[in-house]
Amino acid sequence: MTRGDLFSPACPTRRLLDRIGSKWTSMAVKVLAEAAPGEVRFADLRRRIPGISQKMLSVTLQSLVHDGLVARRVEPAVPVRVHYRLTELGLSLEVPLAALREWAEAHMAEIDEASAGR
């Protein structure tokens, strides 16, 4: 359907997953949630998310800020410091997300087993 597609206004879940399901978002949210209600600086986030590049961290945070899940605070210090923290909305998302995380930690081994099995 290349056309207008008025469908799929439905399922907000998919739209949510489109936002938080991208490669690095869940890890960023996790790190920010662990630090909540404190803030984390850009470079700290980078260190705590192994393998992420500056660009990807940047765009990931931008989208989270854009969606109102993360707040960005610029400290006008000498080399400018930028602090990130979860908003209230972000913190509320943390609840179901933590449940999903627990499930993942408990059951991903079974998925791996099934995937490897055949």
* Sign of the CA dihedral running 26, 20, 62, 77: negative
Q: Residue with structure tokens 């930690």?
A: 105
Q: Which does 55 bind (CB under 5 to 8 A by kind): DNA, a copy of itself, none?
A: DNA
Q: Which does 104 bind (CB under 5 to 8 A by kind): a copy of itself, DNA, none?
A: a copy of itself
Q: What is the DSSP letter of 22?
A: S
Based on CB atoms, which residue is closest to a copy of itself, 3 or 78?
3
Binding footprint of a copy of itself on the chain (CB under 8 A)? 1, 5, 7-8, 10-24, 26-27, 30, 50-51, 66-69, 89, 92-93, 95-97, 99-105, 107-108, 110-111, 113-115, 117-118
3-state secondary structure 62-117: HHHHHCCCEEEEEECCCCCEEEEEECHHHHHHHHHHHHHHHHHHHHHHHHHHHHHH
Binding footprint of DNA on the chain (CB under 7 A)? 1-2, 22-24, 41-43, 51-56, 58-59, 61-62, 72, 78-82
Structure-block tokens of residue 60: 């990931």
Q: Which does 78 bind (CB under 5 to 8 A by kind): DNA, a copy of itself, none?
A: DNA
23, 47, 66 from 58: Cα distances, Å: 13, 13, 12
* Smallest separation (angstroms) from a copy of itself to the CB of 1: 6
